[in-house]
Amino acid sequence: MPEITLLEAVNQALAYEMQRDENVIVLGEDVGTNGGVFRATQGLLQKFGAERVWDTPLAESMIAGMSIGMASQGLKPVAEFQFMGFSYPGLDQIINHAARLRNRTRGRLSCPVVFRTPYGAGIHAPEHHSESTEAIYAHTPGLRVVIPSSPARAYGLLLAAIRDPDPVIFLEPTRLYRLVKQNVPDEGEALPLDQCFVLREGSDVTLVSWGAMLHETMNVARALDQEGISCEVIDVATIKPLDRDTLLNSVEKTGRCVIIHEAPLTAGMGAEIAAILAEQALFFLQAPIVRVAGYDVTVPYFKLEKAYLPSEARIKEAVLTVLQ
Amino acid sequence: MVDVAHFSIPYFQYLNEQGQPVVALPDFVKDNQTLFSLYRLMTLLRVFDARAIALQRTGMLGTYPSVLGQEAVSVGLGAAMHLDDVLCPAYREGGAQIQRGVTLSDILLYWGGDERGNVFGHPNDFPMAVPIGSQTLHAVGVACAFQYRKQARVAVAVCGDGATSQGDFYEALNLAGVRNLPVVFIVANNQWAISVPRGRQTRCQTLAQKAIAAGFAGWQIDGNDVIAVKEKCAEAIEKARTGGGPTLIEALTYRLGDHTTADDASRYRSKEEVAQAQAKEPLKRLRHYLTERGEWSEEKEQLLLAECAKDVEEAVEAYKQVSPVTTDMMFDFHFATLPADLAEQKHLAAQFPVGDAHA
Ligand SMILES: Cc1ncc(C[n+]2csc(CCOP(=O)(O)OP(=O)(O)O)c2C)c(N)n1
Ligand SMILES: [Mg+2]
């Protein structure tokens, strides 16, 4: 079995679920003939036809709103926003309708949509193409926010997201799209939502991250291992709702925690996780929690994006600080 | 120079303001029962509307948007739709909703601050949309589902004149055109968007012509002539059902009341304007027509009013009898399965219950 990238894993999951469930419709800008600007939907048009793969007009509120209408009648739209920075015209529909349709009809109608979008910095992209504003979505009641960090998790989590009866925001880290390859059996096996994944067990400190930052986080954990420091690394994966048990168990064991995310520091999901740990694991903590995050600035255009993204050096320094 | 489009917007009216036929009437008008039913629904809605406003004044309802003067639009539309079509309404479409399994007490329950008012007897219809124009996109999505499943069903969106300035409205029209969707857009042009008059929404001569740019037909109808509303809505809906694609219908009407119970329309429009509009209101003209035809009398009118008042009082009673809300209700319907963190918050809220808050 050939090894595949995260991008190919997304494609594989879409194809699997379209094959399995004819209610699944893929739609968005350039997702058909072109196979998506990153090629995430490549080949789906050829395989499933224009009935199932729709090149839509260029309008994100429309993409969100029509998906809600489709989902209300039992279809399972998987809608793509071309980049996270262009998902915002769809925010009104997502916040005002997708996230609350089930609640405001007391379950009479529901909204099983997946909104996929490439997300994050680090690929030398134009302005507005490097956003990581997951906290906006995570702050919205009624939404699930899921972020894969490997090909296997992209495959398993995307399947789970499509099968989930409620709206899911599925954020695909562009920096990871082609970075690593993995063996991902195409057997339709979903991974659990609402659960963290412990990527590496350790005893000295817990490193909590998600998405592309896990790449640097794992590198730091491996490097520190050489220096005799044992890092536990947690991939939060579903950042809303949070799997508090896994986070608490780990921090109760290690007594120390560094949270790493590329989104801006203030009101980022790191703040939420730190607050939960402070509320529920304070007496296990042997050092203050430290967050390593993007700065509270507009993601810089690509000359400075490396300076914006939390580096391995910053992560390592934070780990050494909490270990002091 | 390329000449790309010349257009005219057809205007349809059957009964004029005095209730006199201006053109040959459609076939359904031959049937007295159909006309009685339309007249009865409009009357019921009017009696209900006054009662709802009174309930708001006594603290029994929250903010309520009156439909006074616009009854023909939603009543005529409701009579033109099939039950298995889907309605995506704004908040003045009660006349259509009550023909589709929504009860008057559901409507009271909703404006009484209770989401259970949206758990009504139609499986697929959307609840009223509060964010202006947003429902037009749900309708095209619903139409996409019908088209994909090759079902002979139609989605109908209703919005106001103000809503036609929204991006969502244009985006919905655009998609409807490009995919030739089985959808009908009804614009209830009541001349006002709160305090902003129609003339300040757009320089377009008609709202109907916005459909032309999306590649399909736009019509104007007299939205106070329930015969025109039913006939032209039915025509557009059946066209959509049989693969003929979308239509936009601009129903010309007038909001005789305040925007909502929280508004005071005397701040921005003249008594003269309202009086002029009053002369064109929809019930009077159908009553005149029925009377001319020898099918209506003052006695029948009084009987009908009494009957409607009774129906409305029953709805008010049913509304008052609804079981109290519990704090659990605000948690239980966000997800198919309650996540652990919400379960904890639900437990917390239950320890701090507060009584039902009216208005
Ligand atoms: C997106 C949005 N903006 C503003 C409002 C506040 N608002 C409520 S009703 C209304 C006017 C709507 O006018 P129109 O579409 O003509 O409908 P009508 O009330 O006249 O039926 C406004 C501005 C809203 N509900 N949604
Ligand atoms: Mg209006």
Q: Does a cis peptide bond (omega within 30 degrees of 0) precede residue A241? A: yes
H-helix segments, chain B: 32-57, 71-80, 94-97, 104-111, 135-148, 167-178, 210-213, 226-241, 271-278, 282-292, 298-321, 340-350
Residue B354 above 90 pLDDT?
no
How far apart are the CA of A122 and the nearest CA of chain B, in angstroms? 32
pLDDT at A11: 98
Q: CB-based contacts of B49: which residues, under 8 Å, 6+ apart?
A: B66, B67, B68, B257
- Does the beta carbon of B113 lie under 8 angstroms from any beta carbon of chain A? no
B6 falls within a domain: no
Per CATH, which fold does A197-323 belong to?
Answer: Rossmann fold (3.40.50)
Number of A–B residue contacts, CB under 8 Å: 141
Give dist(CA B220, CA A148) in Å, integer: 51
Q: Are B336 and B198 in the same domain?
A: no
Q: Compare all CA atoms of chain A with the CA of B144 and give the residue at the minimum distance.
A: A70
Q: Are B219 and B335 in the same domain?
A: no
Q: Are B354 and B224 in the same domain?
A: no
Residues in A touching B141 (Cβ below 8 Å): 65-73, 77
3-state helix, strand, coil in chain A (%, to 5): 40, 20, 40
Residue B347 above 50 pLDDT?
yes
Cα B45 to middle of ligand 2, angstroms: 18
Choosing from A97, A124, A128, A129, the catalytic residue is A129
Average pLDDT over every residue of B269-284: 98
Q: Are B158 and B83 in the same domain?
A: yes
Mutate: best of B144, B175, B332, partner A, most A CBs <10 A: B144
Give dist(CA B227, CA A4) in Å, integer: 63
DSSP element (H, E) containing B197? strand B196-197
Name B127's bridge partners: none
Residues in B touching A279 (Cβ below 8 Å): none
B2 falls within a domain: no
Q: Is the CB of B160 under 6 A from ligand 1?
A: yes
B212 falls within a domain: yes
How far apart are the CA of A241 and the nearest CA of chain B, in angstroms? 7
Domain count of chain B?
Answer: 2
pLDDT at B353: 81
Q: Is the CB of B92 under 6 A from ligand 1?
A: yes
- Does A4-182 match A197-323 in CATH topology? yes
Q: Are B265 and B202 in the same domain?
A: yes
CB-based contact A106 B168, cutoff 8 Å: no
**Counts for chain B of helices (H) and strands (E), in that order:** 12, 8
Q: How many residues appear in chain B?
A: 359
Q: CB-based contacts of A324: which residues, under 8 Å, 6+ apart?
A: A287
* Cα A264 from chain centroid (whole Å): 15
Q: Are B266 and B332 in the same domain?
A: no
- Model pLDDT for residues B63-112, shown as the tens digit of each residue: 999 999 999 999 999 999 999 999 999 999 999 999 999 999 999 999 99
Q: Is the CB of B163 under 6 A from ligand 1?
A: yes
Q: Is the CB of B142 under 6 A from ligand 1?
A: no
Residue B229 above 60 pLDDT?
yes
- Model pLDDT for residues A238-255, shown as the tens digit of each residue: 999 999 999 999 999 999
Q: Compare all CA atoms of chain B with the CA of A104 and give the residue at the minimum distance.
A: B115
Q: Are B340 and B216 in the same domain?
A: no
Using a pLDDT cut of 70, give the percent of chain A over it: 100
B178 falls within a domain: yes
Cα–Cα distances in angstroms (integers) from residue A120 to residues A104, A174, A258, B222, in the given order: 33, 6, 20, 53
Domain that includes residue B334, residue range: 326-359
Q: Compare all CA atoms of chain B with the CA of A144 and give the residue at the minimum distance.
A: B335
Q: CB-based contacts of B330: which residues, under 8 Å, 6+ apart?
A: B349
Q: Are B106 and B83 in the same domain?
A: yes
Average pLDDT for chain B: 97
Task: Please report the beta strands in chain A, taking only residues with DSSP state E, as ranges in sequence order.
Answer: 3-4, 24-28, 53-55, 76-80, 114-119, 144-146, 168-173, 182-183, 197-200, 205-209, 231-235, 238-240, 257-264, 290-294
Mutate: best of A62, A67, A169, A194, partner B, most B CBs <10 A: A62
Domain ranges of chain A: 4-182, 197-323
Q: How many residues appear in chain A?
A: 324
Give dist(CA B309, CA B331) in Å, integer: 37
The CB-side HSE value for A104 (13 A sphere, CA atoms) comes to 19
Cα B259 to middle of ligand 1, angstroms: 9
Q: Is A284 exposed, middle or buried (0-12, 13-18, 19+ CB in 10 A)?
A: middle
pLDDT at A169: 98
How far apart are the CA of B307 and the nearest CA of chain A, in angstroms? 31
Q: Are B221 and B97 in the same domain?
A: yes
pLDDT at B355: 67
Measured between CB atoms, which of B126, B145, B334 is closest to A142?
Answer: B334
Q: Are B358 and B303 in the same domain?
A: no
Which ligand sits closest to the CA of B262? 1
Measured between CB atoms, which of A64, A142, A242 is closest to B341?
Answer: A242
Cα–Cα distances in angstroms (integers) from residue A102 to residues A98, A107, A110, B183, B331, in the given order: 8, 5, 5, 23, 11
How far apart are the CA of B332 and the nearest CA of chain A, in angstroms? 8
Q: In 3D, which of A171, A118, A117, A176 has the Cα closest to residue A147?
A: A171
CB under 5 Å of ion ligand 2: residues: B 160-161, 190, 193
Mutate: best of B85, B97, B137, partner A, most A CBs <10 A: B137
Quickly count: other Cβ atoms within 10 Å of residue A37's Cβ: 16
Residues in A touching B123 (Cβ below 8 Å): 108
H-helix segments, B101-202: 104-111, 135-148, 167-178
What is the DSSP-derived secondary structure letter of residue B15? B
Among A residues 179-208, those touching chain B with beta carbons less than 8 Å apart: 194
Contact B84, B295 (CB under 8 A): no
Cα B82 to middle of ligand 1, angstroms: 28
Instruction: Write the CATH number for B43.
Output: 3.40.50.970
Q: Are B313 and B354 in the same domain?
A: no
Torsions phi, psi of B25, nearest 5? -80, 150
The band of B356, judged by pLDDT with boundaries at 50, 70 and 90, is low
The band of B359, judged by pLDDT with boundaries at 50, 70 and 90, is very low
Q: In 3D, which of B195, B138, B147 has the Cα closest to residue B171?
A: B138
Give dist(CA B218, CA A44) in Å, integer: 36
Residue A4 above 90 pLDDT?
yes
Using a pLDDT cut of 70, give the percent of chain B over it: 99
Q: Which protein residue's CA is at the shortest distance from atom 13 of ligand 1?
A: B193
Q: In 3D, which of B80, B88, B97, B84 has the Cα closest to residue B235?
A: B80
The band of A200, judged by pLDDT with boundaries at 50, 70 and 90, is very high
Average pLDDT over every residue of A172-177: 98
Q: Are B99 and B87 in the same domain?
A: yes
CB-based contact B174 A62, cutoff 8 Å: yes
CB-based contact A65 B336, cutoff 8 Å: no
Per CATH, which fold does A4-182 belong to?
Answer: Rossmann fold (3.40.50)
pLDDT at B3: 87
